[in-house]
Protein backbone atom coordinates (compact mmCIF):
# COMPACT_ATOMS: atom_id res chain seq x y z
CA UNK A 1 0.00 0.00 0.00
CA UNK A 2 2.80 2.39 0.91
CA UNK A 3 4.62 1.50 -2.32
CA UNK A 4 1.47 2.27 -4.32
CA UNK A 5 1.13 5.65 -2.62
CA UNK A 6 4.76 6.42 -3.29
CA UNK A 7 4.34 5.51 -6.98
CA UNK A 8 1.29 7.77 -7.25
CA UNK A 9 3.25 10.61 -5.68
CA UNK A 10 6.08 10.15 -8.17
CA UNK A 11 3.67 10.06 -11.10
CA UNK A 12 1.95 13.19 -9.86
CA UNK A 13 5.28 14.98 -9.57
CA UNK A 14 6.25 13.91 -13.08
CA UNK A 15 2.91 15.14 -14.41
CA UNK A 16 3.67 18.59 -13.01
CA UNK A 17 6.98 18.93 -14.82
CA UNK A 18 5.56 20.06 -18.21
CA UNK A 19 3.30 22.56 -16.46
CA UNK A 20 6.18 24.04 -14.53
CA UNK A 21 8.38 24.10 -17.61
CA UNK A 22 5.76 26.01 -19.58
CA UNK A 23 5.00 28.53 -16.84
CA UNK A 24 5.80 32.02 -18.12
CA UNK A 25 8.14 34.15 -15.98
CA UNK A 26 6.51 36.80 -13.82
CA UNK A 27 7.20 40.10 -15.54
CA UNK A 28 7.08 43.75 -14.50
CA UNK A 29 7.71 46.82 -16.68
CA UNK A 30 9.09 50.07 -15.30
CA UNK A 31 8.02 52.72 -17.82
CA UNK A 32 5.42 53.44 -20.48
CA UNK A 33 7.57 52.30 -23.40
CA UNK A 34 8.48 49.02 -21.71
CA UNK A 35 4.76 48.54 -20.98
CA UNK A 36 4.03 48.25 -24.69
CA UNK A 37 6.47 45.37 -25.19
CA UNK A 38 5.29 43.51 -22.11
CA UNK A 39 1.62 43.88 -23.03
CA UNK A 40 2.25 42.71 -26.58
CA UNK A 41 4.43 39.71 -25.74
CA UNK A 42 3.79 38.38 -22.23
CA UNK A 43 0.82 36.18 -21.25
CA UNK A 44 -1.64 38.33 -19.35
CA UNK A 45 -1.53 36.18 -16.21
CA UNK A 46 2.27 36.54 -16.02
CA UNK A 47 2.21 40.36 -15.84
CA UNK A 48 2.66 41.41 -12.21
CA UNK A 49 3.23 45.11 -12.77
CA UNK A 50 2.96 47.92 -15.34
CA UNK A 51 3.67 51.61 -15.06
CA UNK A 52 0.77 53.92 -14.28
CA UNK A 53 1.01 55.30 -17.82
CA UNK A 54 0.05 51.93 -19.31
CA UNK A 55 -3.59 53.07 -19.39
CA UNK A 56 -2.91 56.64 -20.55
CA UNK A 57 -4.13 58.04 -23.87
CA UNK A 58 -0.62 57.89 -25.29
CA UNK A 59 -0.24 54.17 -24.53
CA UNK A 60 -0.66 52.12 -27.71
CA UNK A 61 -1.65 48.99 -25.76
CA UNK A 62 -3.89 50.76 -23.25
CA UNK A 63 -6.97 48.70 -24.18
CA UNK A 64 -5.13 45.54 -23.12
CA UNK A 65 -3.75 47.06 -19.91
CA UNK A 66 -7.10 47.47 -18.16
CA UNK A 67 -7.38 45.42 -14.98
CA UNK A 68 -3.66 44.67 -14.66
CA UNK A 69 -1.67 45.90 -11.62
CA UNK A 70 -0.15 49.36 -12.02
CA UNK A 71 2.97 50.02 -9.97
CA UNK A 72 5.60 52.69 -9.50
CA UNK A 73 9.21 51.95 -10.41
CA UNK A 74 10.33 51.71 -6.77
CA UNK A 75 12.04 49.18 -4.53
CA UNK A 76 8.82 48.73 -2.57
CA UNK A 77 6.89 47.89 -5.75
CA UNK A 78 9.56 45.40 -6.73
CA UNK A 79 9.29 43.61 -3.39
CA UNK A 80 5.50 43.48 -3.66
CA UNK A 81 5.40 42.25 -7.26
CA UNK A 82 8.17 39.62 -6.97
CA UNK A 83 8.97 39.56 -10.71
CA UNK A 84 11.31 37.09 -12.38
CA UNK A 85 11.95 39.53 -15.24
CA UNK A 86 11.89 43.32 -15.33
CA UNK A 87 11.65 45.23 -18.62
CA UNK A 88 12.74 48.87 -18.81
CA UNK A 89 13.77 51.60 -21.20
CA UNK A 90 14.19 54.62 -18.96
CA UNK A 91 12.24 53.73 -15.82
CA UNK A 92 13.76 53.10 -12.40
CA UNK A 93 16.69 54.65 -10.56
CA UNK A 94 20.10 53.52 -9.31
CA UNK A 95 18.63 52.19 -6.06
CA UNK A 96 16.20 50.00 -7.93
CA UNK A 97 18.87 48.72 -10.30
CA UNK A 98 21.01 47.66 -7.35
CA UNK A 99 18.02 45.96 -5.75
CA UNK A 100 17.36 44.01 -8.95
CA UNK A 101 20.98 42.86 -9.03
CA UNK A 102 20.91 41.78 -5.38
CA UNK A 103 17.72 39.79 -5.87
CA UNK A 104 18.96 38.18 -9.06
CA UNK A 105 16.04 39.48 -11.10
CA UNK A 106 16.69 39.36 -14.86
CA UNK A 107 16.57 42.85 -16.35
CA UNK A 108 15.81 43.55 -20.01
CA UNK A 109 17.15 46.98 -20.93
CA UNK A 110 15.51 48.10 -24.16
CA UNK A 111 17.50 50.40 -26.43
CA UNK A 112 16.42 53.93 -27.34
CA UNK A 113 16.29 53.20 -31.06
CA UNK A 114 15.84 55.45 -34.11
CA UNK A 115 15.02 52.99 -36.89
CA UNK A 116 13.01 49.86 -37.59
CA UNK A 117 16.02 47.57 -37.30
CA UNK A 118 16.36 48.83 -33.74
CA UNK A 119 12.69 48.07 -33.10
CA UNK A 120 13.21 44.53 -34.38
CA UNK A 121 16.15 44.17 -32.02
CA UNK A 122 14.11 45.34 -29.02
CA UNK A 123 11.27 42.97 -29.85
CA UNK A 124 13.65 40.01 -30.09
CA UNK A 125 15.43 41.00 -26.88
CA UNK A 126 12.17 41.20 -24.90
CA UNK A 127 10.72 38.07 -26.51
CA UNK A 128 13.82 36.03 -25.68
CA UNK A 129 13.75 37.09 -22.01
CA UNK A 130 10.04 36.24 -21.75
CA UNK A 131 10.46 32.94 -23.63
CA UNK A 132 8.06 34.22 -26.30
CA UNK A 133 10.22 34.13 -29.42
CA UNK A 134 7.44 32.97 -31.80
CA UNK A 135 5.21 35.79 -30.62
CA UNK A 136 8.07 38.24 -31.14
CA UNK A 137 8.66 37.08 -34.70
CA UNK A 138 4.93 37.32 -35.42
CA UNK A 139 4.96 40.92 -34.16
CA UNK A 140 7.90 41.73 -36.42
CA UNK A 141 6.17 40.10 -39.38
CA UNK A 142 3.07 42.27 -38.87
CA UNK A 143 5.22 45.38 -38.68
CA UNK A 144 7.16 44.45 -41.80
CA UNK A 145 3.95 43.76 -43.72
CA UNK A 146 2.73 47.29 -42.99
CA UNK A 147 6.07 48.77 -43.99
CA UNK A 148 6.03 46.83 -47.25
CA UNK A 149 2.59 48.21 -48.10
CA UNK A 150 3.68 51.77 -47.25
CA UNK A 151 6.94 51.69 -49.22
CA UNK A 152 7.31 54.40 -51.86
CA UNK A 153 3.84 55.87 -51.49
CA UNK A 154 5.10 59.41 -50.88
CA UNK A 155 7.03 59.37 -54.17
CA UNK A 156 9.79 61.58 -52.78
CA UNK A 157 7.41 64.31 -51.62
CA UNK A 158 8.92 66.61 -48.99
CA UNK A 159 7.21 66.37 -45.59
CA UNK A 160 7.76 68.24 -42.33
CA UNK A 161 6.85 66.71 -38.97
CA UNK A 162 5.38 69.22 -36.53
CA UNK A 163 4.45 68.98 -32.83
CA UNK A 164 2.22 71.35 -30.83
CA UNK A 165 5.33 72.77 -29.18
CA UNK A 166 6.75 73.82 -32.54
CA UNK A 167 9.38 71.09 -32.81
CA UNK A 168 10.25 68.89 -35.75
CA UNK A 169 12.29 65.68 -36.13
CA UNK A 170 15.26 65.18 -38.40
CA UNK A 171 17.74 62.39 -39.01
CA UNK A 172 18.52 60.13 -36.09
CA UNK A 173 14.87 59.85 -35.03
CA UNK A 174 12.22 57.20 -35.55
CA UNK A 175 9.99 59.89 -37.07
CA UNK A 176 12.54 60.27 -39.85
CA UNK A 177 12.47 56.48 -40.37
CA UNK A 178 8.66 56.54 -40.52
CA UNK A 179 8.64 59.27 -43.17
CA UNK A 180 11.24 57.48 -45.28
CA UNK A 181 9.45 54.15 -44.94
CA UNK A 182 6.39 55.76 -46.55
CA UNK A 183 8.42 57.25 -49.40
CA UNK A 184 8.68 60.84 -48.14
CA UNK A 185 11.74 63.06 -47.91
CA UNK A 186 12.18 64.71 -44.53
CA UNK A 187 12.01 68.49 -44.89
CA UNK A 188 14.01 68.97 -41.70
CA UNK A 189 17.73 69.25 -42.41
CA UNK A 190 18.76 69.40 -38.75
CA UNK A 191 19.43 66.14 -36.88
CA UNK A 192 17.32 64.90 -33.98
CA UNK A 193 14.62 67.20 -32.58
CA UNK A 194 14.80 70.95 -33.17
CA UNK A 195 12.50 74.00 -33.23
CA UNK A 196 10.78 74.72 -36.52
CA UNK A 197 11.72 77.98 -38.20
CA UNK A 198 8.57 80.09 -38.23
CA UNK A 199 9.96 82.19 -41.06
CA UNK A 200 10.76 79.16 -43.19
CA UNK A 201 7.34 77.65 -42.64
CA UNK A 202 5.69 80.86 -43.83
CA UNK A 203 8.03 81.74 -46.69
CA UNK A 204 8.83 78.29 -48.09
CA UNK A 205 6.36 75.81 -46.60
CA UNK A 206 6.93 72.11 -47.32
CA UNK A 207 4.61 70.32 -49.72
CA UNK A 208 3.29 68.18 -46.88
CA UNK A 209 2.95 68.64 -43.13
CA UNK A 210 2.64 65.71 -40.72
CA UNK A 211 1.27 66.59 -37.30
CA UNK A 212 2.23 64.61 -34.24
CA UNK A 213 0.91 64.56 -30.65
CA UNK A 214 -1.88 67.02 -31.44
CA UNK A 215 -4.43 64.59 -30.00
CA UNK A 216 -3.05 65.43 -26.53
CA UNK A 217 -3.56 69.19 -26.92
CA UNK A 218 -6.61 70.46 -25.12
CA UNK A 219 -8.89 72.96 -26.77
CA UNK A 220 -7.20 76.33 -26.58
CA UNK A 221 -4.05 74.74 -25.19
CA UNK A 222 -1.85 75.10 -28.26
CA UNK A 223 1.03 77.24 -27.03
CA UNK A 224 2.78 77.62 -30.36
CA UNK A 225 2.42 79.93 -33.36
CA UNK A 226 -0.13 78.13 -35.59
CA UNK A 227 -2.97 79.44 -33.48
CA UNK A 228 -1.59 82.99 -33.47
CA UNK A 229 0.03 83.44 -36.87
CA UNK A 230 -2.46 83.60 -39.74
CA UNK A 231 -0.05 82.73 -42.56
CA UNK A 232 1.41 79.77 -40.72
CA UNK A 233 -2.03 78.59 -39.66
CA UNK A 234 -3.06 78.59 -43.32
CA UNK A 235 0.03 76.64 -44.38
CA UNK A 236 -0.60 73.97 -41.75
CA UNK A 237 -4.30 73.80 -42.58
CA UNK A 238 -3.83 73.44 -46.33
CA UNK A 239 -0.76 71.18 -46.38
CA UNK A 240 -1.38 68.72 -43.54
CA UNK A 241 -1.63 65.18 -44.87
CA UNK A 242 -1.88 63.26 -41.59
CA UNK A 243 -2.06 63.73 -37.84
CA UNK A 244 -0.31 60.94 -35.96
CA UNK A 245 -1.56 60.19 -32.44
CA UNK A 246 0.74 60.18 -29.43
CA UNK A 247 0.22 56.44 -29.03
CA UNK A 248 2.00 55.90 -32.37
CA UNK A 249 4.86 58.41 -32.04
CA UNK A 250 5.40 58.50 -28.28
CA UNK A 251 7.59 55.38 -28.05
CA UNK A 252 9.89 53.48 -30.37
CA UNK A 253 7.87 50.37 -31.11
CA UNK A 254 6.47 48.22 -33.90
CA UNK A 255 3.42 50.49 -33.99
CA UNK A 256 5.54 53.18 -35.67
CA UNK A 257 4.68 51.22 -38.82
CA UNK A 258 1.07 52.35 -38.24
CA UNK A 259 2.33 55.90 -38.79
CA UNK A 260 4.04 54.95 -42.06
CA UNK A 261 0.88 53.17 -43.13
CA UNK A 262 -1.23 56.27 -42.39
CA UNK A 263 1.17 58.46 -44.36
CA UNK A 264 1.07 56.07 -47.30
CA UNK A 265 -2.74 56.09 -47.33
CA UNK A 266 -2.71 59.89 -47.28
CA UNK A 267 -0.32 59.96 -50.24
CA UNK A 268 -2.54 57.69 -52.30
pLDDT reported for residue 236 = 82
Claim to verify: residue 105 and residue 163 sit in the same structural domain: no
Claim to verify: residue 106 and residue 156 sit in the same structural domain: no
129 falls within a domain? no
Domain that holds residue 77: 2-110
Claim to verify: residue 14 and residue 97 sit in the same structural domain: yes
What is the C-alpha to C-alpha distance for residues 210 and 262, in angstroms, rounded to an integer? 10
141 falls within a domain? no
Claim to verify: residue 195 and residue 89 sit in the same structural domain: no
Claim to verify: residue 162 and residue 262 sit in the same structural domain: yes
**Which is nearest to 69 in space by CA: 91, 57, 52, 93?**
52
Claim to verify: residue 56 and residue 163 sit in the same structural domain: no
Q: Are 33 and 174 in contact (CB under 8 A)?
A: no
Claim to verify: residue 96 and residue 157 sit in the same structural domain: no
pLDDT reported for residue 218 = 64
Asked which of 60, 94, 110 is the last residue of a domain, the reply is 110
Length of the chain equals 268
134 falls within a domain? no
126 falls within a domain? no
Name residues of the chain where pLDDT drops below 70: 1-22, 218-232
92 falls within a domain? yes
Q: What is the DSSP string of the chain?
A: -HHHHHHHHHHHHHHHHHHHHHPPPPEEE-SHHHHHHHHHHS-GGGEEEB-GGGGSTT-TTHHHHTTS-B--SSHHHHHHH--SEEEESS---HHHHHHHHHHT-EEEE----SSHHHHHHHHHHHHHHTT-HHHHHHHHHHHHHHHHHHTTTTTT-EEEEE-TTSEEE-TTSHHHHHHHHTTPEES--SSSEEE--HHHHHHS--SEEEEESGGGPPTT---SGGGT-HHHHHHHHHHEEEEE-HHHHSS-STTHHHHHHHHHHHH-
Long-range contacts of 218-225 (CB under 8 A, 24+ apart): 221/164, 222/164, 223/164, 223/165, 224/164, 224/165, 224/166, 225/166, 225/198
Claim to verify: residue 237 and residue 184 sit in the same structural domain: yes
Please report, for residues 73, 75, 108, 263, the alpha-carbon distance to residue 94 in angstroms, rounded to integers and kept in the order given: 11, 10, 15, 40
Give the CATH number, domain containing residue 88: 3.40.50.1980
Claim to verify: residue 168 and residue 101 sit in the same structural domain: no
75 falls within a domain? yes
130 falls within a domain? no
The pTM (predicted TM-score) of the whole model is: 0.86
pLDDT reported for residue 235 = 75
208 falls within a domain? yes
Claim to verify: residue 105 and residue 160 sit in the same structural domain: no
What is the C-alpha to C-alpha distance for residues 177 and 184, in angstroms, rounded to an integer? 10
* Beta-carbon-side half-sphere exposure of residue 206 (alpha carbons within 13 Å): 24
Domain count, the chain: 2
Claim to verify: residue 87 and residue 29 sit in the same structural domain: yes
Asked which of 110, 134, 163 is the last residue of a domain, the reply is 110
Q: Are 180 and 207 in contact (CB under 8 A)?
A: no
Amino acid sequence: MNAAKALCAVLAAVALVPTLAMAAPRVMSLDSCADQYVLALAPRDSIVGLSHRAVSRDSYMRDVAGGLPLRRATFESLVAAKPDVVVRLWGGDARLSKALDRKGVATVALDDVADFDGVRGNIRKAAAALDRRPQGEALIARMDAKLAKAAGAGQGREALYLTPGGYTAGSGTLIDAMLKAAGYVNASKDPYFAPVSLERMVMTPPSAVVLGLFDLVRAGGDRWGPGRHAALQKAVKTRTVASLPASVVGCAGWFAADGSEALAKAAR
